[in-house]
Structure 1
Amino acid sequence: MPDLTLSAAQTLVATALQTARERDLKPLCVVVYDARGALKSLAAEDGTSLRRAEIARGKANGALALGLGSRAIAKRAEAQPEFVAAVSHLVGPDALVPVPGGVLIRDVEGRLLGAVGISGDTSDNDEICAVAGIEAAGFRAETGA
């Protein structure tokens, strides 16, 4: 079973950003963590607005912390706002952003390898770019849909 290597993380980032440019999206910030939460890669395009890295980190961290793609966390925030507020308080204000764009990375057997968080355009577009990057690196994306 493969691990999330630096090379795979760089492929993921490059493809996510390429997808954004092909779709003429706003500048993105992409963060990739391995399964233990260690930073593997971070890239911010020229023109990315302030604090996009923190938002991308929060999407990826939240996905790892709860074991759910951030789309599922967003649904849970609507259904159980007190729970998500409590978790946000426990893990810190920049460690859980409950909107789409935080996607778990799994290998073909389903083993958790890490998470990617993207911020810069709409949350749905951020998620599209994350999925494209994950799949280009040869892994499965879990958005929480």
Structure 2
Amino acid sequence: MADISLRKARTIIRKAFEKGREMQLRPLSVVVLDAGGHVQAFEREDGAAPGRFPIAHGKAYGAVMLGMSGSAQMARAEQQPYFMAAVNGVYGGQVIPVPGGVLVRDKKGVVIGAVGLTGDTSDNDAIAAMAGIDAAGLIGEA
């Protein structure tokens, strides 16, 4: 199984933070998960709320476990709330179905992990996450 390397995970985080500063976003927290949903890297900017890790993780975890972006999960939750509630139960309440959970694919289209970013609005979180993924030479689905 292909995964996101630690080097690429660090690039994603660094470039997402840079994009956040460029956009003047609130302090961000970013987690990068491998294809199995395991944490490859996490960082929280100075001033970010200490409880941001589980939010970032929940956004990324839902993306990788369901194989769909946070935006797609949110749309599904709006259309089929019982389904998403059941899915969240299956995963122990760890899924946060909103933008900012970005599925990551390699150049061949294989899912290799996900990025979860939190700290600003969900849409801005997704923009910053995509900037990091693009900078690492990977393909993101926000």
**TM-score, normalisation: structure 1:** 0.94
Aligned to 2:112: 113
Letter matched to residue 141 of structure 1: G
3-state DSSP class of the match of 1:4? coil
Matched positions, count: 142
Instruction: Measure how far apart 1:24 and its partner are.
Output: 0.6
What CA RMSD, in Å, does the superposition of the two structures yield over aligned residues? 1.3
Instruction: Measure how far apart 1:50 and its partner are.
Output: 3.7
3-state DSSP class of the match of 2:75? helix
User: Matches of 2:101 and 2:65 in 1, distance apart?
Assistant: 11
5+ residue gaps, structure 1: none
Instruction: Measure how far apart 1:3 and its partner are.
Output: 4.1
* Alignment map for 1:1-145 (pairs within 5 Å): 3-93=3-93, 95-143=94-142
**TM-score, normalisation: structure 2:** 0.96
3-state DSSP class of the match of 1:15? helix
Instruction: Measure how far apart 1:39 and its partner are.
Output: 1.0
3-state DSSP class of the match of 1:130? helix
Instruction: Measure how far apart 1:46 and its partner are.
Output: 1.0
Aligned-pair identity (%): 50
User: Matches of 1:69 and 1:114 in 2, distance apart?
Assistant: 11
User: Matches of 1:3 and 1:57 in 2, distance apart?
Assistant: 17
3-state DSSP class of the match of 1:48? coil
Letter matched to residue 104 of structure 1: L
Instruction: Measure how far apart 1:115 and its partner are.
Output: 0.2
> Segments of 4+ in structure 1 off by > 3 A?
none
Instruction: Measure how far apart 1:26 and its partner are.
Output: 0.3
